[in-house]
Chains A and B, each alone.
Chain A
Amino acid sequence: MPGALSRAAAIIGAAEADEIGYPATPKTALQLHIEAIKNVSEQTGIPISRIDGVFSAGWSSQLAEHLGLRPKYIDTTSVGGCSFEMHVHHALAAIHAGIIDVALISHGENGWSARATGGRGTGRPRGAPDPWDPGQQFQAVYGVAGAPSNYAHAMTRHNYRFGSTPEDFAHIAVVTRQWAMLNPRAIMFSKETNPGGGPITVEDVQNSRVVAWPLTLLHCCLVTDYGGAVLVARPEIARSVKTKPVWIAGAGESMGHQNMLEMEDFTATSAAASAAAAYRMAGMGPEDMEMAMIYDSFTVTAGITAEMLGLAPRGEGFMLWKDGRAAPGGKFPINTNGGGLSFNHSGMYGMQLLVEAYRQLSRTAEDGVTGLPGKQVDARSCIVNGTGGSLSTTGTLILVAD
Chain B
Amino acid sequence: MAYTKPIPDPDPVHRPYWEGAREGKLMLPRCTTCNRVHWYPRLLCPFCHSREIEWIEASGEGRIHTFAVQHRAFGGWADEVPFVTAYIDLHEGDRMFTVLRGVDPTKPETIRIGAKVRVEFERANDEVSIPFWRVVEE
Binding site for B on A (CB under 8 A): 131-132, 134, 136-145, 148-149, 152-157, 160, 209-215, 259-261, 266
**What are 8 A-B pairs with beta-carbon distances under 8 A?**
A131-B8, A141-B7, A143-B75, A144-B70, A152-B69, A152-B70, A153-B66, A210-B82
**Which residues of A have CB within 8 Å of B76?**
143
Whole-angstrom CA separation of A261 from B77 in the bound complex: 20
Q: Is the CB of B85 within 8 A of A144?
A: yes
Which residue of A132, A144, A211, A266 contacts B71 across the interface (Cβ within 8 Å)? A211
**Which residues of A have CB within 8 Å of B40?**
134, 137-138, 259, 261
- B34 located at the interface, meaning its Cβ lies under 8 Å from any Cβ of chain A in the complex: no
Given contacts A143-B77, A144-B97, 18 further A-B pairs with CB under 8 A are A136-B8, A136-B9, A137-B10, A138-B8, A138-B39, A140-B6, A141-B6, A142-B99, A143-B85, A144-B85, A153-B66, A211-B72, A213-B68, A213-B82, A213-B108, A260-B87, A260-B97, A266-B87
Binding site for A on B (CB under 8 A): 5-11, 14, 39-41, 65-77, 80, 82-83, 85-87, 95-99, 108, 113, 130
Which residue of A132, A140, A149, A266 contacts B65 across the interface (Cβ within 8 Å)? A266
Given A140-B6, A141-B6, A143-B77, A214 and B83 contact (CB-CB distance below 8 Å): no
Which residue of A137, A211, A214, A260 contacts B14 across the interface (Cβ within 8 Å)? A137
**Which residues of A have CB within 8 Å of B14?**
132, 134, 137
Q: How distant is B92 from chain A, measured CB to nearest CB, in Å?
A: 15
Whole-angstrom CA separation of A153 from B69 in the bound complex: 9
Q: Is the CB of A142 within 8 A of B68?
A: no
Q: Is the CB of A213 within 8 A of B71?
A: yes
Of the listed residues B71, B82, B96, B130, the one surrounded by the most CB atoms of chain A closer than 10 A to its CB is: B71
Given A148-B72, A211-B71, A142 and B9 contact (CB-CB distance below 8 Å): no
Whole-angstrom CA separation of A136 from B8 in the bound complex: 7
Given A131-B9, A141-B130, A142-B97, A156 and B66 contact (CB-CB distance below 8 Å): yes
Q: Is the CB of A132 within 8 A of B11?
A: yes
Whole-angstrom CA separation of A386 from B65 in the bound complex: 26
Q: Is the CB of A157 within 8 A of B66?
A: yes
Q: Is the CB of A212 within 8 A of B70?
A: yes
**Which residues of B have CB within 8 Å of A143?**
5-6, 70, 73-77, 80, 83, 85, 99
Q: How distant is B123 from chain A, measured CB to nearest CB, in Å?
A: 14
**Which residues of B have CB within 8 Å of A138?**
8, 39-40, 96-97
Interchain Cβ contacts within 8 Å, total number: 112
**Which residues of A have CB within 8 Å of B68?**
149, 152-153, 155-156, 212-215
Q: Is the CB of A212 within 8 A of B71?
A: yes
Q: Is the CB of A149 within 8 A of B113?
A: no
Which residue of A136, A154, A259 contacts B66 across the interface (Cβ within 8 Å)? A154
- Which 6 residue pairs are nearest across A and B when measured between Cβ atoms? A143-B77, A152-B68, A213-B69, A132-B11, A131-B9, A157-B66
Of the listed residues A131, A144, A153, A213, the one surrounded by the most CB atoms of chain B closer than 10 A to its CB is: A213
Q: Is the CB of B74 within 8 A of A145?
A: yes
Nearest-neighbor residue (CB-CB) of B74 within chain A: A145
Which residue of B8, B72, B95, B108 contacts A137 across the interface (Cβ within 8 Å)? B8
Whole-angstrom CA separation of A260 from B68 in the bound complex: 13
**Which residues of A have CB within 8 Å of B83?**
143
Given A141-B130, A210-B71, A153 and B85 contact (CB-CB distance below 8 Å): yes
Q: Is the CB of B72 within 8 A of A212?
A: yes
Whole-angstrom CA separation of A144 from B16 in the bound complex: 24
Nearest-neighbor residue (CB-CB) of B80 within chain A: A143
Whole-angstrom CA separation of A160 from B67 in the bound complex: 11
Q: How distant is B122 from chain A, measured CB to nearest CB, in Å?
A: 11
Whole-angstrom CA separation of A215 from B70 in the bound complex: 10
**Which residues of B have CB within 8 Å of A215?**
68
**Which residues of B have CB within 8 Å of A212?**
68-72
**Which residues of A have CB within 8 Å of B82?**
210, 213
Whole-angstrom CA separation of A215 from B130 in the bound complex: 27
**Which residues of B have CB within 8 Å of A137?**
8-11, 14, 40
Whole-angstrom CA separation of A149 from B108 in the bound complex: 15
Whole-angstrom CA separation of A214 from B113 in the bound complex: 14
Whole-angstrom CA separation of A272 from B99 in the bound complex: 31
Q: How distant is B67 from chain A, measured CB to nearest CB, in Å?
A: 6
